[in-house]
Structures are given as structure tokens and as C-alpha cells.
Amino acid sequence: MLEIKNLQASINNKSILKGLNLVIKPGELHAIMGPNGSGKSTLANVLSGKIGYEISGELNFRGEDLKKIPVEKRAQKGIFLAFQYPLEIPGVNTNIFLKTSLNSIRKSKGEKELDTLAFLKLVKEKCSELGIDEKILSRQLNVGFSGGEKKKNEILQMKILDPNLSILDETDSGLDIDALKIIANGVNSSRNDKKSFLVITHYQRLLDHIKPDFVHVLSDGKIIKTGCGELAEELEKTGYKKLN
């Protein structure tokens, strides 16, 4: 699914990722943990194609070099990023945003665009599956949403767009236990042998609900340790310092 070799990324001449290697196969869920400033969000941004970074190294997604592909094309190819801080867009109805988004992705794949009725049916289905109140859909996109509502909205979008690779950038931060369960449920119910996940988190808490295949520790722009689920538990007890 995703192959990263010796990835270096810098912004404003400040080097952030310093030779990162990572391979994610279809069906796998990888968790990335690491202290503040280790480059976790930069990795998410670089994978999604955010502009402003100087990049070198290899970045292959399903056999294609991602580096020259712009953000929206990557999204159309099935890369989804759940934002750490989802943006507010005043005046734009959440439903309409989601429908526009889904239809441009469908269009790019040569699929038929969904009409309003079919779309609403799909949304209703996903909302009840996740236990999300449909009311947020008729509100302006993320405007006046609580932190939890914003994150739930990201997961709802993930469910509807049905991407190949979902990147969750600290989606669990600042959530109460009920919201956390909704997020975890959203991820778990999407897992199958074709879909891959990259979950960025500070805490082991989320990984109690989502069982990762691999846990990586990112520190100073590199992956310094890789293990399975137990590594996260270990980190929770000892902190990152011991690893350095």
C-alpha cells in the first residue's frame, strides 16, 4: 500500500523528517507514537501532499510515486487524513461539503455521482452505524462544533469516502471516553484485508480500543523502534526518554 524510504522533509530550511522508513501493507494498521515535535504531524501532512515542504526520498503509494501528485489527486486515489484540527468553513453546509467531496472522488474514479437521495441514505446509514447524531450534518461545516463533534465528523467523512489509506492525526486527543469509543468503532468497523491505517497518537489509550499490527516510535524525524501492541503499553509506563 505505502512504501516510504529514507524520507526527508524540511520546512523553511528546518529539517523535520530525517530519513524515515516505513512500509504499510494492505490490511495493516500501524500506530505512530512519539514525543511532541518528533515529526508526527509533518509525516501526516507530507503523505497528504500539503504544500510548503521540501521533500526527498521515496514515497510510493500503490506503486505510484506520490511526490508529484497534488493533494486533491492523492485524496481521489484514496488517501484520507483525519485532521488534528479540522477547519471551519462558514456558510457551507456539512452535508453539501460531504456530498461534493464524495462526488468528486467518485467522478475521478469514473463512477456515477450520487444524487441527493442516494447520498442522504448513505449518510444516514453511516451515522447510525457510528452512533453519530445526524443533526451535525445540517450545520455549517465544523462551525461551532465542539472538539468531540469535529473529530466525530472526521471519522464520519472517513467512513463515507471509504479510502484505501486512512491517516488519523491525533484524532483521539481531547476526547472523552464515549467519543473515543465512537472513533475506535469507526476504525475497527472499516478494517479489512484491503484497507490500511496509520494512526498517530500520543497515548496508549486509543490503542486499547484499536489493536495495531505495528507500533512505531518516532523521535527526531526517524523511527527509532518498532514493535507490536505491547510496545505501546511499555511506553505508557516508561515514557519516551528511556528509548533515546
Partner 1 sequence: MKQQELERTKEYKYGFTTDIESIRAPKGLNEEVIKFISKIKKEPRWMLDWRLKAFNRLKNIKEPNWQKPKYPAINYQDLYYYSAPKSAQDKPKSLDEVDPKLLETYAKLGIPLTEQKKLSGVAVDAVFDSVSVATTFKDELTKKGIIFCPISEAIQKHPDLVKKYLGSVIPITDHYFATLNSAVFTDGSFVYIPENVRCPMELSTYFRINASETGQFERTLIIADKGSYVSYLEGCTAPMRDENQLHAANVELIALDDAEIKYSTVQNWYPGDENGKGGIYNFVTKRGACRGKNSKISWTQVETGSAITWKYPSCILQGDNSVGEFYSIAITNNHQKADTGTKMIHLGKNTKSKIISKGISAGRADNTYRGLVDISKKALNARNYTQCDSLLMGNKCGAHTIPYIKNKNSSSIVEHEATTSKINEEQLYYCNQRGLNQEEAIGLIVNGFCKEVLQQLPMEFAVEAQKLVGISLEGSVG
Residues in contact with partner 1 by CB under 8 A are 48-51, 70-72, 75-76, 80-81, 83, 86-87, 89-92, 96-97, 100-102, 104-105, 108, 140-141, 157, 161
- Kindly state the smallest distance separating residue 72's Cβ from partner 1, in Å: 4
- Kindly state the smallest distance separating residue 79's Cβ from partner 1, in Å: 8
- Kindly state the smallest distance separating residue 163's Cβ from partner 1, in Å: 10
b/e burial code for range 128-165 (CB count within 10 A of at least 16 → b): eebebeeebbeebbbeebeebbbbbbbbbbbbbbebbb
DSSP 134-175: GGGGGSBTTTT--HHHHHHHHHHHHHHH--SEEEEESTTTT-
Question: Does residue 30 contact residue 40 with C-beta atoms inside 8 Å?
Answer: no
Return the number of the residue (51 or 177) whose C-beta is nearest partner 1. 51
Return the number of the residue (61 or 204) whose C-beta is nearest partner 1. 61
Return the number of the residue (150 or 195) whose C-beta is nearest partner 1. 150
Return the number of the residue (15 or 101) whose C-beta is nearest partner 1. 101
- Kindly state the smallest distance separating residue 92's Cβ from partner 1, in Å: 4
Question: Does residue 192 contact residue 27 with C-beta atoms inside 8 Å?
Answer: yes
- Kindly state the smallest distance separating residue 174's Cβ from partner 1, in Å: 19
DSSP letter, residue 177? H
Return the number of the residue (60 or 140) whose C-beta is nearest partner 1. 140
Return the number of the residue (6 or 104) whose C-beta is nearest partner 1. 104
Q: Is the sign of the CA dihedral 95, 96, 100, 101 positive or negative?
A: negative
- Which residues contact residue 238 at a Cβ distance below 8 angstroms, ignoring those fewer than 6 apart? none
Under DSSP, is residue 209 helix (H, G, I), strand (E, B) or coil?
helix
- Kindly state the smallest distance separating residue 205's Cβ from partner 1, in Å: 26
